[in-house]
Amino acid sequence: MDPFAAKQMAALQATSLAKAANRSAPGGTSASYFGGMSSNNPTRPDLSSGQDIMNGNQPFPPNAMPAFQAQQHNQPSPHPNPAGMQQSSHHSRKRSFLNGMASIMLQRSAPLPPALTGIPYPPGYDPSTSPWRSLDVSPNEVGIVRLAGKDIDLFKLWALALQLGGGQKVSAQGMWGQLLPQFDLQEHITQPNGQQQQAAVALGNLYNMLIGPFESAYRKNMQEQQHRAMVTRTSSNPQVPGHQRPDGMSNMPANFPPQMNALQRQPSNPNMNPASMGGLPTPSQAPDLALGMGGFPTPQNIPQTPQQFPGFQGGQNPRANLGLSEVPVNGAPSPQPGANGFPPVFSGTVPDMGVIEGDPETELRKRKLRESEEVDGKRVRQKTSGSDTADPRASLGPPSMGGQAAATVVPGRTIRQPSRRKIEYVPYAREVETAGGRDLNAIVHELNAAAHRPMRHIDEWGSVDIDALTMSLRSRIATELSYALTTFTILTLMRGTMSGFPVTQAPDLFEELLDLIEELAFDEAEDGDGQLEATRIITHREIVSYLNDDGAQPFAGLETRQGAKDPSLGPKQRPGNIIRTIMNILRNLSNTTENHDYFAKHDRLLTVILRLCALKPSEKGAMPAPASLALSLQDLVAVRKDATLILVNIGYNVKFAAKMPPTTAEARTARRAYELLAAYLIDLEDAVSPLACMMQGGVVTQMHHPKPPSSTDSALEAFTRIAQADDNRQVFSKAVPEEWLWSMFEALAHRLPVVEQDFNVIMREVWLAYFERIIHSLYSLSFLSPPSVKQRVKEDKRLRFPKLMLRLIKKLSGTPRDLRHHFMVSVRRAVETVKLIDDGEDSFDTSHSSTMPTLSFGMGYGEHGETRLEKGMGLLSGYQEDITMGIMMSSDLDDMMFSELASLVRVG
């Protein structure tokens, strides 16, 4: 057979085997995109088939042919050097990596410097506008930048990062510090501005800026290949018998001869790792994943035109005639052809760029795929025809290239047909959106709409008929009560320009409120002739402490206590809630000025609300309980607070008794009012000086200054207003026990400023008002107290009231002139309080007072009637120098205050 006919027979056989290999792997391969082997244009001449050469496919660019032919004659050695091939492969992979990185940055309109990648700038690009101007690129070698004076090989950095799982994983787990010794970097580097920076942070930033975009594109392509491979392997379409690709050839081009599989299993180089031939790199070969990056689109791709290699001659060894036997790849010697005319196994790894060893997502997909194949393999249908039939073309060996090549024949591998076919059944299932017959999505949608429903405007309420509200309250129907109380609450919150809801114009509605309170809170009317008992006042602090201790007990919420809802009521509201709602309405109504006189003169209002605030008589140490069975102890705390605010609003208009002496009911009302207010004031743990009180409220800061306790301040204000009238003071003197008066007097004295820091605190407006209320309350107590209480105040050695008041008067009188007018009212009241204590008489006994002369006009009137000589017992006679030479020498002292001070330092 002539050489031309032998060449045609070899081409036909190679074409037949290549088609068989292509039919066994549907879908092709995309490995050429990121460093894989191209199936259309192989870039390695030692891996390409003779058919590609004969078809005119050019493995190298035309400008590379002279060097190619020169190297063909410079490599006479039949045995390639493994070290040289490995070095050449490394340079090739690095070159491909830099090309890919440059292409990515060019697509982002930020081309890398030519000194870094070896690729010039695109035409028309201005290097002065490059974002990489400040990048320190090594002038000696491409692919190297300098960081803190050390060379950083970007290809090496990428390979090390891949071994640790990629740049994102290294950044997330903070493992950049592990790579510092690889580049001889210290833990900290010095920036150009002189500041210190962690080298690990700088290395991570360098990686993310330069290599990060390339890695993102690399991983995206890898995921696409994995998905394509899974779709191909799990496809239900049966493969054509006899066209399955042999094992180990998944990474080869589609037109690669299947006989190379047998050669792969018999590497001629003992230094080659057989595991690297299977397409799956081992962890130690992670850097080799960059092999073959020539398939990545580069900015300098030059169109290749088919042409024949020079010196093409037929012969016994066509590849030798083609000049492919000793052609080096990137300077590395190529393998010599074997006995069958094909080269032995190539040096290097042909990785699958879609698979990374150790990638968690890849391993998870592999495991799921294997499990699905194992499960589905049990349900597939067995073939009825014979299995394992051999393809007659599979036994064909490589073509005979001459007599010399025919001496050695490599047996071909038998290609078997698949014995099983995988059939998948995808049942049609309607998505169930209900649970137990209920559409949960619709229910949740309606609940969300109701929860976010906007508030209705007050105009949508429409016209309100006051008589209809009265009838709704009188009906006692649960729904009518709810509507009436809600509407009445809104009416009390509405305020005009000058006033609010005038309750004087709806007396029936007001009476129904009080009737409803009495009906819910008390079973029967109170006995008006009952005797008043002298019991101990239980303070507000004690009630709150009882609540805290009782609520901290185990299973406290399971116990049934007073005021709990009766199960027999059903869906109705608890009576305690209705009472608290009515108290809230009364408090809102008391804020209107025109309602003050009506509230104060109402014959039942104070009696009802003060009866609600009362406690049952109990032994010392026992838990207190409200007098009303409908109220719990928590309800009592809220009701007492509302009652105190009502007394603050109407205090100036309150009059306990119409005439003297007061009746038993009037005295009981006054006593309950005093007990309610004293419960907030007489606790000695809370009765402290202004500085200590402020420290109890919180730490003082520049932006926040604590205020006096609101409950204590409200109680002081209410007592000051109620006790301002002499008639109310007289009722208090007859209804309140002396022990209660002494407890109040002692607690108020403890609240006065003592040290210099206390006087600094009362310089603020809120604390000055708090101090004035204490002084006015002390004056009222001194006025209404009987002589026995006054004598006890004067002689008590622990209280030392005269000395305390003298210090206060002296301190406030000596303030600067521009501030003195703020304290003159308090100083005058303090002097009058000391004068009342010094007299020691009953302020309501007028039998000892001197009568006016018969002739109260004309000569001698000024000496006898207008200016009466003040007399006293000399309570401050021991402080003559402080008062006479200090306070009385002040020029701003009025005549009345001067005469009272004179009587305090003079006996008789």
Residue 844 — very low, low, confident or very high, per pLDDT cuts 50/70/90?
A: confident
Query: What is the residue-wise DSSP string for 643-690?
Result: HHHHHHHHGGG--S-SSSSPPHHHHHHHHHHHHHHHTTT--TTT---H
pLDDT at 345: 33
Put simply, whether the predicted model's pTM sits higher than 0.75 gets the answer: no
Instruction: For the chain, give the percent of residues with pLDDT over 70.
Output: 61
Q: What is the pLDDT of residues 27-57, one digit of tens each?
A: 443 333 333 333 344 333 333 333 333 333 3
Report the distance separating Cα 509 and Cα 147, nearest Å: 87
With CA atoms as reference, report the closest residue to 540 among 680, 641, 638: 680
For the record, the structure tokens of 435 come out as 């649970």
The helix-helix angle for 710-722 and 765-784 (nearest 10°) equals 40
Contacts of 622-630 spanning 24+ positions with Cβ under 8 A: 623/546, 623/550, 624/538, 624/542, 624/543, 624/546, 625/562, 626/562, 626/563, 628/521, 628/522, 628/579, 629/521, 629/523, 629/562, 629/563, 630/520, 630/521, 630/563, 630/575, 630/576, 630/579
Q: Would you tell me how many other CB atoms lie within 10 Å of the CB of residue 345?
A: 19
pLDDT score of 314 more than 60? no
Report the distance separating Cα 202 and Cα 188, nearest Å: 9
Report the distance separating Cα 538 and Cα 561, nearest Å: 20
pLDDT at 480: 94
For the record, the structure tokens of 188 come out as 């900290």
pLDDT at 365: 65
Report the distance separating Cα 411 and Cα 398, nearest Å: 9
Residue 487 — very low, low, confident or very high, per pLDDT cuts 50/70/90?
A: very high
More confidently predicted of 462 and 603: 603
pLDDT at 789: 92
Q: What is the pLDDT of residues 318-345, one digit of tens each?
A: 333 333 333 343 444 434 444 333 333 3
For the record, the structure tokens of 162 come out as 């891949």
Which residue is it, tokens 């009587």? 903
Which residue is it, tokens 């009952």? 530
Report the distance separating Cα 725 and Cα 659, nearest Å: 13
The one-letter code for the residue type at 187 is: E
pLDDT at 551: 81
Report the distance separating Cα 289 and Cα 286, nearest Å: 6
H helices of 537-574, where? Answer: 540-551
Q: Which of 18-27, 119-128, 705-714 has the highest mean pLDDT?
A: 705-714
**Beta partners for residue 188, in sequence order:** 198
Q: Report whether 394 contacts 412 (CB < 8 A).
A: yes
pLDDT at 298: 37
Contacts of 367-372 spanning 24+ positions with Cβ under 8 A: 369/230, 369/233, 369/234, 372/234
In three-state secondary structure terms, 329 is strand
Q: Where exactly are the structural domains of the chain?
A: 3-86+220-302+310-392, 438-553+569-654
- What phi-psi label fits residue 118: left (phi over 0), alpha (psi between -120 and 50 degrees) or beta? left
Q: Report whether 396 contacts 17 (CB < 8 A).
A: yes
The one-letter code for the residue type at 223 is: Q
Q: What is the pLDDT of residues 808-836, one digit of tens each?
A: 888 887 777 777 778 888 888 888 898 88
**Beta partners for residue 434, in sequence order:** 439
Mean pLDDT calculated for residue range 528-535 = 62
Residue 700 — very low, low, confident or very high, per pLDDT cuts 50/70/90?
A: low
In three-state secondary structure terms, 435 is strand
Residues 6+ apart with CB under 8 A from 188: 196, 197, 198, 199
With CA atoms as reference, report the closest residue to 725 among 586, 638, 600, 640: 600
Mean pLDDT calculated for residue range 778-795 = 92
Q: How far is CA 24 from CA 16, 246, 370, 539, 798, in A?
A: 13, 8, 20, 95, 109
pLDDT at 92: 85
With CA atoms as reference, report the closest residue to 376 among 436, 426, 411, 449: 426
pLDDT at 41: 40
Phi (first) and psi of residue 108, to 5 degrees: -90, 10
pLDDT score of 601 more than 70? yes
For the record, the structure tokens of 818 come out as 């521009």
Report the distance separating Cα 6 and Cα 404, nearest Å: 13
Q: How far is CA 615 from CA 496, 538, 818, in A?
A: 38, 9, 49
- CA angle 655–660–664, rounded 5-degree value: 80
**Beta partners for residue 615, in sequence order:** 626
For the record, the structure tokens of 27 come out as 């879908």
Residue 750 — very low, low, confident or very high, per pLDDT cuts 50/70/90?
A: very high
Residue 536 — very low, low, confident or very high, per pLDDT cuts 50/70/90?
A: confident
In three-state secondary structure terms, 416 is strand
Report the distance separating Cα 540 and Cα 382, nearest Å: 89
pLDDT at 749: 94
pLDDT at 359: 52
**Average pLDDT value for the chain:** 72
Q: Report whether 3 contacts 315 (CB < 8 A).
A: yes
Report the distance separating Cα 231 and Cα 228, nearest Å: 5
pLDDT at 337: 40
The alpha-carbon radius of gyration of the chain (Å, integer) is 53
pLDDT score of 136 more than 60? yes
Q: Report whether 191 contacts 197 (CB < 8 A).
A: yes
Task: Give the N- to C-terminal CA distance of the chain in Å, as an integer.
Answer: 160
pLDDT score of 3 more than 70? no
For the record, the structure tokens of 33 come out as 């995109």
- Most distant pair of Cα atoms in the chain: their distance: 171
The number of helix segments (H) and strand segments (E) in the chain equals 35, 6
**Beta partners for residue 390, in sequence order:** 416
pLDDT at 394: 39
With CA atoms as reference, report the closest residue to 216 among 466, 417, 34, 416: 34
DSSP annotation of 302 reads -
Q: Which of 193-197, 423-427, 471-475 has the highest mean pLDDT?
A: 471-475
Residue 458 — very low, low, confident or very high, per pLDDT cuts 50/70/90?
A: low
pLDDT score of 405 more than 80? no
pLDDT score of 517 more than 60? yes
Report the distance separating Cα 200 and Cα 198, nearest Å: 5
- What phi-psi label fits residue 382: left (phi over 0), alpha (psi between -120 and 50 degrees) or beta? beta
pLDDT at 362: 60
pLDDT score of 577 more than 90? yes
Report the distance separating Cα 194 and Cα 196, nearest Å: 7
DSSP annotation of 422 reads -
pLDDT at 678: 95
Residues 6+ apart with CB under 8 A from 559: none
Query: What is the residue-wise DSSP string for 708-764?
Result: PPHHHHHHHHHHHHHTTSHHHHHHHHHHS-HHHHHHHHHHHHHTS--SHHHHHHTTS
Q: Report whether 262 contacts 345 (CB < 8 A).
A: no
pLDDT score of 254 more than 80? no
Q: What is the pLDDT of residues 51-101, one digit of tens each?
A: 333 333 333 333 333 333 334 444 444 445 666 677 778 888 888 888 888
The one-letter code for the residue type at 768 is: L
Q: What is the pLDDT of residues 559-574, one digit of tens each?
A: 888 888 888 888 889 9
**Beta partners for residue 420, in sequence order:** 382
- CA angle 474–475–480, rounded 5-degree value: 105
Indicate the range of 138-147, 290-299, 811-820 predicted with least confidence.
Answer: 290-299
More confidently predicted of 231 and 557: 231
pLDDT at 121: 87
pLDDT at 184: 86
Residue 148 — very low, low, confident or very high, per pLDDT cuts 50/70/90?
A: confident
The one-letter code for the residue type at 357 is: E
Chain centroid, CA 906 distance in Å: 72
pLDDT at 505: 92
pLDDT score of 660 more than 60? yes
